[in-house]
Chains A and B, each alone.
Chain A
Amino acid sequence: MPENCNKASSDTEPLWRDEFSISRAHERYVSRRQLAKFLTLGSLGMFAGNAWILVRSWFRKPQSYQAAVVAKAGEIPVGGVKLFQYPRQGEQCIMVRTSEESYVAYSQKCTHLSCAVFYAREKNRLECPCHQGYFSITDGSVLQGPPTRPLPRVVLERRGDELIAIKMEPEA
């Protein structure tokens, strides 16, 4: 221990003064016990945090989705898009009519940094303008760029002439 460190740990000094000592040498000094305490408590904290996450995942209920009408069939032309909000207000999704009878819908939030993706018609893919992350139009998988996870897909169902969003896949 540095020479002038003993003074700060006297009985008259409050405990916090020991941590925030006026003496520069004492402030910088880390004792073996302090380090061991920090490592022990730190790893205990990490363990407790991981245990908490594990226990929570056991009791997690699968999210329930409500069906919502997105559009009428034939409302948008082939190659056209429609933006809608699913499953809640403010969660923007994009629907693309890829051919006469096929529609696909994805969350519009790029899985990298949440920029809004758009449909590039001539390349037939979803593109994020922020960092050039490209997503496949067929299954939402990453074609290139910084995103690592595919775009969450909105499962569509056709009832009569209405297109209805059933659920998100994978679940958010």
Chain B
Amino acid sequence: MINFDFIDRSETIATAAYVCWHCEDPTCAQVCPADAIKKGEDGVVMSALKPRCIGCSNCVLACPFGIPKIFPEQELMMKCDMCYDRTSIGKRPMCATVCPSQALAYVRKEDIASRREKPSNVFHFGNQTITTQVYIMTPPGTDSVTLDITEHIWEKPHA
């Protein structure tokens, strides 16, 4: 499954990656009424199990990162599973393989420890704190990322 969307196809070739962050306590699985989203022993949060998923899109609405995608014609949710077919046999996930600037990279922790920016995996969405298994590089001195989505989407009432 390709987890990329074009932002504005007519104006730019820029894409937005919907790479799953593989939360320690995945919100998508927490809200799943059909018990279809599972986390493997290796911490990878898998796509919905086909026989269980009922296509209710609870996970789509609940995920703070906006990762799960619903396919209504299949009544199935699919999401990034870290290219499980590749990573389970030691290959890198496809997105990290093709990214020319290595903005998406699949590397060992010690390999990036020497860099100035530091990896962090704690996100604050309002009152919800999420620890993920995928890291984001943050400026030195920051140990967590706070995102207030409502602040961005809030429209000021017209005066």
Contact = CB atoms under 8 A, between A and B. Distances in A.
B41 A22 contact: no
Nearest to B35: A20
Interface string A1-14: 01010000000000
B30 interface: yes
Nearest to B44: A24
Contacts of A27: 38
A6 to B, nearest CB: 14
A86 B61 CA distance: 61
A115 B28 CA distance: 51
A17 to B, nearest CB: 9
Contacts of B40: 24-25
A23 B35 contact: no
B39 interface: yes
Interface residues of A, number: 8
Given A22-B26, A22-B29, A22-B30, A2 B41 contact: yes
Contacts of A23: 38-39, 41
Interface in A1-43: 2, 4, 20, 22-25, 27
Contacts of B53: none
Specify the main secondary structure of chain B where it touches its partner: loop
Nearest to A17: B30
Interface in B33-53: 35, 37-41, 46
Nearest to A7: B25
Interface residues of B, number: 11
A75 to B, nearest CB: 60
A131 to B, nearest CB: 34
B154 to A, nearest CB: 32
A24 B39 contact: yes
B48 to A, nearest CB: 12
Interface string B12-32: 000000000000011001100
A4 B30 contact: no
A23 B41 CA distance: 7
B88 to A, nearest CB: 13
A10 to B, nearest CB: 11
B38 to A, nearest CB: 5
Contacts of B30: 22
Interface string B66-81: 0000000000000000
Contacts of A22: 25-26, 29-30, 37-39
Contacts of B35: 20
Which of A4, A20, A22, A25 counts the most B-chain CB atoms under 10 A from its CB? Answer: A22
Nearest to A27: B38
18 contacts: A2-B41, A4-B41, A20-B35, A22-B25, A22-B26, A22-B29, A22-B30, A22-B37, A22-B38, A22-B39, A23-B38, A23-B41, A24-B39, A24-B40, A24-B41, A24-B46, A25-B41, A27-B38
User: Lowest 9 A-B CB distances belong to which pairs?
Assistant: A22-B29, A24-B38, A20-B35, A25-B41, A22-B39, A23-B39, A24-B40, A24-B39, A22-B26
